[in-house]
Amino acid sequence: MEGLSACVSQRRYQYEEYKETADWLLSHAEQRPKVAIICGSGLGSLADLMVDKTVFPYKDIPNFPVSTVQGHAGQLVFGKLQGRECVCMQGRFHFYEGYSIQTVTYPVRVFFLLGVETLIVTNAAGGLNDGFAVGDIMLIKDHINTPGFAGQNPLCGHNDERFGVRFPCMSDAYDADLRALAKEVAEEQGCGSFLQEGVYCMLAGPTYETIAESKVLQTLGADAVGMSTVPEVVVARHCGLRVLGLSLITNKVIMDYDSKEKANHEEVLKTTKHRAQDLQKLVSNLMTKI
């Protein structure tokens, strides 16, 4: 019952609030994007590759939350990437920042009302799979929604049919055709040797996982772990958007009690900076094929 009460008490947004935000953006931006990109920690420089840009700080957008995490610029960028109009979030929102799960996912429904059809989500993640190396890029083929096990699902509460059905399917959350395209592009640009595919597990954070928790996640079948992405994907699929998810493996999750290593956000940002150009190039080249 505790999970249910947490679900019911969440901050709820009305359709009119999403529409107010979308209408404001449509009136201030010339672009009409079909693709939206959510950038994870340290990956916001993808927006620097865009041209004909219009930039909106989150604080200036009606009803929009504000990102508080280092490595997240906190602005919405409209523009063209490889000739395709798109909108890019430089910085996402997290449950651990104190936001409700509905606030974390607020932008996705706004994207839907803007006319977006495809969502690309990127994140920095810890590697649980022994075959993964720091710097690998993982195509997300599935996820484990641990906050959802406790009732923290963004679709709890009244369902608005204008966004989607009451009981959306999640077995196809990550589009197989988009993953195939990503593999093709990765081979073309020479990234195939460090491209992986696996299951992403979301924890609420902000603490990094304990060794015991990491072993449980491995047993559950998780290949990488992070603190984001899943809520946005759930809402995107509810709205009928196609989804491509990409995790940059920034650290190996500690599994040995004798290890002196410790996970930290500075290490994540450092590794992200090292490999970010490859991930940005992959997303950019994908735009010509979507």
Q: Is 28 assigned a catalytic role?
A: no
Catalytic: which of 124, 173, 202, 276?
124
Q: Is 228 assigned a catalytic role?
A: yes
What is the DSSP secondary structure assignment for residue 134, as one 8-state letter? T
* Distance, CA of 219 to CA of 225 (rounded, Å): 13
* Distance, CA of 38 to CA of 120 (rounded, Å): 6
Q: Is 184 assigned a catalytic role?
A: no
Catalytic: which of 18, 22, 29, 41?
41
Q: Is 123 assigned a catalytic role?
A: no
Q: Is 247 assigned a catalytic role?
A: no
Catalytic: which of 251, 284, 285, 287?
251
Catalytic: which of 17, 96, 267, 274?
96
Q: Is 197 assigned a catalytic role?
A: no
Q: Is 159 assigned a catalytic role?
A: no
Tell me the C-alpha to C-alpha distance, in Å, between residue 21 and each of 17, 59, 150, 268. 6, 12, 30, 32
Burial of residue 149, with CB atoms counted within 10 A of its CB: 0-12 exposed, 13-18 middle, 19 or more buried: exposed
Q: Is 96 assigned a catalytic role?
A: yes
Contact between 120 and 244 (Cβ < 8 Å) = yes
Q: Is 158 assigned a catalytic role?
A: no
Q: Is 16 assigned a catalytic role?
A: no
Tokens representing 187 are: 């081979």
Catalytic: which of 36, 50, 72, 238?
72
Catalytic: which of 22, 36, 224, 227?
227
Q: Among all residues, which ones are annotated catalytic?
A: 41, 72, 94, 96-97, 124, 227-228, 251, 265
